[in-house]
């Protein structure tokens, strides 16, 4: 059966590895269906490792977690919202809101008042991500969140790093802006509560960014960009049986666009896994910045000259992909390997890209 296999002990190993690295509270980020692993499952893993503070992006996720029985844990909704339905869900789930603008504070306060409650909220500072949050220059607005809204209790403040995986300079700049805002608030006598900034990349790349707490997602599933020797383990893989095998003669084309022509008689295996399942989706080119564009061109030409190949594991051995990967199919070269139709092929896929319709199997 095609399935995404998730290894519980490896996820726990990763949670514990993160815990050992820090001396401040860990907020377990489980957005996007727990990075594709399953929301309630990831919450359970964190709970079993003693973590009772979760963070999600959708109010609906807070609701799901409460319904799944996570009634005591603190759930931070990591975005502000001016949508009444979302605000009501925050009240209903007694989640911790994010206030990133005065309008979101005003509306949150109204909904909290209407429900006769006081809601916890963390203030978000935009230090460079350019999405939610107050700018450094809006300190007066930030102060008014503390003072002007009776039904909001500020219990934390945070910012989000945009470049922790790729730029020391930008990351240190964001860190400095954030620290400056927090220090000014403290100097003015405000209790900022939990002060948090670092994500996975920042935790594993910088020693001194933990502040009062860290928000960690990717590290829990063992994937941190541009960090070496993390001690983290990969936690999941896609498995699928080989549907059929056959021999192709020399000079036979293969796949869409005839992207490959056999140079010798070649035994192939066909596996019904392709882009729609998430295979190689994460490897799509990232060319937002000119530098990324140049790096992309360089890496593609390097691949062309070195013929670097994409691998799939079968019976413990690497087999290489031939031709273009299709929407639903991948072809691998099994010449000289001991492989039969029905043998299991293992694909390394980032869980966030694994099609949600593929069953998750927990081992």
Q: How far is the CB of 64 from ligand PLP (least distance, A)?
A: 17
Q: How far is the CB of 356 from ligand PLP (least distance, A)?
A: 18
Check binding of 204 to ligand PLP (CB under 6 A).
Answer: no
With CB under 6 A as the contact rule, the residue among 78, 125, 269, 339 that binds ligand PLP is: 78
Q: Which stretch binds ligand PLP (CB under 6 A): 167-175, 184-192, 196-204, 320-328?
A: 196-204
Q: How far is the CB of 199 from ligand PLP (least distance, A)?
A: 3
With CB under 6 A as the contact rule, the residue among 14, 15, 26, 31 that binds ligand PLP is: 31
Check binding of 217 to ligand PLP (CB under 6 A).
Answer: yes
Check binding of 80 to ligand PLP (CB under 6 A).
Answer: no
Q: How far is the CB of 123 from ligand PLP (least distance, A)?
A: 13
Q: How far is the CB of 282 from ligand PLP (least distance, A)?
A: 14
Q: Three-class SS string for the chain?
A: CCEEEECHHHHHHHHHHHHHHCCCCEEEECHHHHHCCCHHHHHHHHHHCCCCEEEECCHHHHHHHHHCCCCCCEEEECCCCCCHHHHHHHHHCCCEEEECCHHHHHHHHHHHHHCCCCEEEEEEECCCCCCCCECHHHHHHHHHHHHCCCCEEEEEEEECCCCCCCCHHHHHHHHHHHHHHHHHHHHCCCCCCEEECCCHHHHHHCCCCCCCEEEECHHHHCCCCCCCCCCCCCCEEEEEECCEEEEECCCCEECHHHCEECCCCEEEEEECCCHHHCCCHHHCCCCCCHHHHHHHHHHHHHHHHHCCCCEEEECCEEEEECCCCCCCCEEEECCCCCCCCCCEEEECCCHHHCCCCCCEEEC
With CB under 6 A as the contact rule, the residue among 160, 205, 324, 360 that binds ligand PLP is: 160
Q: How far is the CB of 291 from ligand PLP (least distance, A)?
A: 20
Q: Among residues 42 and 238, whose Cβ is nearest to ligand PLP?
A: 42
C-beta nearest to ligand PLP: residue:
217
Question: Which among 208, 183, 206, 126 is positioned nearest to 159, based on CA atoms?
Answer: 126
Q: How far is the CB of 160 from ligand PLP (least distance, A)?
A: 4
| Token couple for 57 | 């992006």
With CB under 6 A as the contact rule, the residue among 218, 260, 279, 347 that binds ligand PLP is: 218
Check binding of 122 to ligand PLP (CB under 6 A).
Answer: no
For residues 2 and 239, the answer to whether their CB atoms sit within 8 Å is: yes
Check binding of 200 to ligand PLP (CB under 6 A).
Answer: yes
Q: How far is the CB of 246 from ligand PLP (least distance, A)?
A: 42
Q: Which stretch binds ligand PLP (CB under 6 A): 211-219, 275-283, 304-312, 347-355?
A: 211-219
Residues that bind ligand PLP (CB under 6 A): 29, 31, 78, 160, 199-201, 215-219
């Amino acid at each position: 059966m095609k399935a995404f296999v998730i290894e519980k002990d490896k996820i726990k190993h990763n949670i514990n590895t993160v815990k050992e690295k820090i001396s401040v509270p860990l907020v377990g980020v489980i957005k996007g269906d727990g990075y594709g692993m399953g929301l309630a499952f990831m919450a359970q893993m964190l709970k079993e490792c003693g973590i009772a503070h979760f963070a999600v992006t959708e109010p609906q996720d807070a609701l799901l977690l409460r319904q799944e029985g996570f009634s005591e844990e603190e759930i931070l909704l990591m975005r502000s919202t001016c949508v009444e339905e979302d605000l009501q869900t925050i009240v209903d789930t007694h989640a911790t809101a994010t206030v990133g603008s005065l309008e979101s504070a005003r509306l949150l306060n109204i909904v909290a008042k209407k429900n006769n409650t006081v809601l916890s909220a963390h203030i978000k500072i935009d230090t460079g991500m350019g999405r939610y949050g107050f700018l450094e220059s809006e300190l007066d607005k930030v102060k008014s969140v503390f003072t002007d809204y009776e039904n909001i209790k500020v219990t934390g403040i945070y910012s989000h790093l945009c470049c922790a995986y790729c730029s020391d300079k930008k990351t240190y700049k964001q860190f400095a802006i954030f620290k400056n805002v927090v220090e000014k608030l403290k100097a003015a006598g405000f209790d900022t509560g939990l002060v948090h900034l670092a994500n996975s990349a920042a935790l594993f790349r910088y020693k001194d960014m933990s502040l009062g707490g860290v928000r960690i997602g990717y590290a829990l599933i063992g994937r941190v960009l541009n960090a070496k020797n993390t001690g983290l383990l990969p936690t999941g893989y896609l498995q699928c049986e080989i549907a059929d095998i056959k021999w192709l003669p020399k000079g036979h084309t293969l796949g869409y666009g005839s992207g490959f022509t056999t140079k010798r008689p070649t035994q192939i295996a066909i596996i019904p896994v392709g882009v729609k399942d998430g295979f190689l989706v994460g490897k799509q080119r990232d060319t937002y910045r000119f530098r990324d564009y140049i790096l992309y061109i360089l890496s593609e030409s390097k691949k062309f000259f070195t013929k670097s190949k994409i691998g799939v594991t079968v019976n413990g051995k690497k087999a290489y992909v031939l031709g273009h990967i299709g929407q639903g199919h991948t072809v691998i070269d099994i010449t000289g390997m001991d492989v039969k139709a029905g043998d299991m092929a293992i694909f390394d896929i980032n869980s966030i890209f694994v099609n949600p319709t593929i069953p998750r199997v927990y081992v």
